[in-house]
């Protein structure tokens, strides 16, 4: 192993920079060259590569987003596009590649591994939607951003005696709603993994009001439906003033939390170690506090595993 490449792909997540920093500095410490690839697979196909040194990643551990920038590439999904990518990697003498991104990026990484490019995946996505790992980089920062918003919305919700519906990210995975909802003391948490009944929801709101609850917070994962629409229906049925807040992209940005920085640093370090061990097509994760690695294809094929127990606890405590 003489030269490795690193790229970030798909949706950005806080902590990606800490992972890039770890890959770059671990590589350099082991006497190899490290090439930064800009704008994900799109930049790879276009040859947007530059050599990185220790200074390239100075002053980045605290920054959200990704210094390598990110993109989505339709061309890379084609055989011809991937051939171009492989040719570029070979032309630059890159023998190992670290891909930081979500499940789509991992599918791309797996395709490259099939073309004899040693490839390692690091999970960078705020959604926490990869089953093989307990946490993905960016999730902790995102839930803390949501929690901060919940605390603020709770103040106004309590003052006015309103129902507040807070829509958070998560198309197929309700983890952001679940964790932030539990930590924020939400009365209801609506996630794609669980069916919900509008009449039951309204009954819970009205019962809460009778018991003296002055606010009512509902965390809604975007995959279930829109907050505006739900707010209208809830207000119609309960006659309680109901407001919707869609948090949107503020959940993606911001300085990564300590946990995300530590996780990203460990994962970046391990990615380079794995390349030195001659491993390929591995996805790095964390299970029960330990850094692990799993075959990328197997990692992608694991069925979603919703934390039912945590949901039950959140519901029991919100009563």
Q: Which of 8, 38, 105, 141 binds ligand ADP (CB under 6 A)?
A: 105
Closest CA to 100 of 185, 4, 188: 4
CB of 95 to ligand ADP, least distance (A): 21
CA distance 164 to 217: 5
CA distance 67 to 16: 8
Q: What angle do CA 82, 6, 86 make, to 5 degrees?
A: 20
Residues in a beta bridge with 7 = 99
111 binds ligand ADP, rule: CB under 6 A: yes
11 binds ligand ADP, rule: CB under 6 A: yes
Question: DSSP letter at 195?
Answer: -
Q: With CB under 6 A as the contact rule, which of the stretches 104-112, 148-156, 200-208, 311-319 interacts with ligand ADP?
A: 104-112
φ, ψ (nearest 5 deg) of residue 82: -70, -35
Q: Which of 8, 125, 164, 188 binds ligand ADP (CB under 6 A)?
A: 125
Confirm whether residue 213 is marked as ligand binding: yes
CA distance 294 to 296: 6
Greatest distance between any 2 Cα atoms in the chain: 70
Q: Which of 103, 175, 187, 222 binds ligand ADP (CB under 6 A)?
A: 103
Closest CA to 71 of 45, 41, 47, 102: 41
121 binds ligand ADP, rule: CB under 6 A: no
Q: Would you call 127 a catalytic residue per the annotation?
A: yes
**Measured from the CB atom, is 125 or 235 closer to ligand ADP?**
125
Confirm whether residue 265 is marked as ligand binding: no
- Report helix, strand or coil for 211: helix
CB of 13 to ligand ADP, least distance (A): 8
CB of 18 to ligand ADP, least distance (A): 17
**Measured from the CB atom, is 77 or 233 closer to ligand ADP?**
77
108 binds ligand ADP, rule: CB under 6 A: yes
77 binds ligand ADP, rule: CB under 6 A: yes
Confirm whether residue 39 is marked as ligand binding: no
CA distance 105 to 41: 9
Q: Which of 33, 69, 72, 213 binds ligand ADP (CB under 6 A)?
A: 72
Query: 127, 140, 175, 293: which is the annotated catalytic residue?
Result: 127
Contact 138, 169 (CB under 8 A): no
CB of 93 to ligand ADP, least distance (A): 23
Q: Provide the sign of the torsion angle of the four alpha carbons 298, 300, 303, 309, taken in this order.
A: positive
User: Which chain residues interact with ligand ADP by CB under 6 A?
Assistant: 9-11, 41, 72-73, 76-77, 101-105, 107-108, 111, 125
């Amino acid at each position: 192993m003489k030269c490795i490449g690193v790229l970030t792909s798909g949706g950005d997540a806080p902590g990606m920079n800490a992972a890039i920093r770890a890959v770059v500095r671990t590589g350099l410490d082991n006497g190899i060259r490290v090439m930064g690839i800009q704008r994900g697979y799109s930049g790879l196909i276009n040859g947007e590569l530059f050599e990185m040194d220790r200074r390239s990643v100075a002053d980045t551990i605290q920054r959200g987003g990704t210094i390598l920038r990110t993109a989505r590439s339709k061309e890379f999904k084609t055989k011809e596009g991937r051939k171009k990518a492989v040719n570029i990697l070979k032309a630059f003498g890159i023998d190992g590649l670290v891909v930081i991104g979500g499940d789509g990026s991992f599918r791309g990484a797996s395709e490259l591994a099939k073309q004899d490019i040693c490839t390692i995946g690091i999970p960078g996505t705020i959604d926490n939607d990869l089953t093989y790992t307990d946490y993905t980089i960016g999730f902790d920062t995102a839930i803390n951003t949501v929690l901060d918003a919940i605390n603020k919305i709770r103040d106004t919700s309590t003052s006015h005696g309103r129902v507040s519906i807070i829509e958070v990210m998560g198309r197929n995975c309700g983890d952001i709603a679940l964790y932030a909802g539990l930590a924020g003391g939400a009365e209801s948490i609506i996630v794609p993994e669980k069916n919900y009944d509008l009449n039951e929801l309204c009954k819970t709101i009205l019962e809460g009001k009778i018991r003296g609850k002055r606010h009512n917070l509902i965390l809604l994962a975007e995959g279930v439906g829109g907050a505006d629409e739900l707010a209208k229906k809830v207000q119609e049925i309960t006659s309680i003033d109901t407001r919707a807040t869609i948090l949107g992209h503020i959940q993606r940005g911001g300085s990564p939390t300590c946990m995300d920085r530590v996780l990203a640093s460990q994962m970046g370090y391990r990615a380079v170690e794995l390349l030195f061990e001659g491993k390929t097509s591995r996805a790095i994760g964390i299970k029960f506090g330990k850094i692990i690695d799993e075959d990328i294809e197997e990692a992608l094929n694991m069925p979603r595993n919703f934390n039912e127990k945590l949901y039950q606890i959140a519901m029991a405590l919100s009563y």
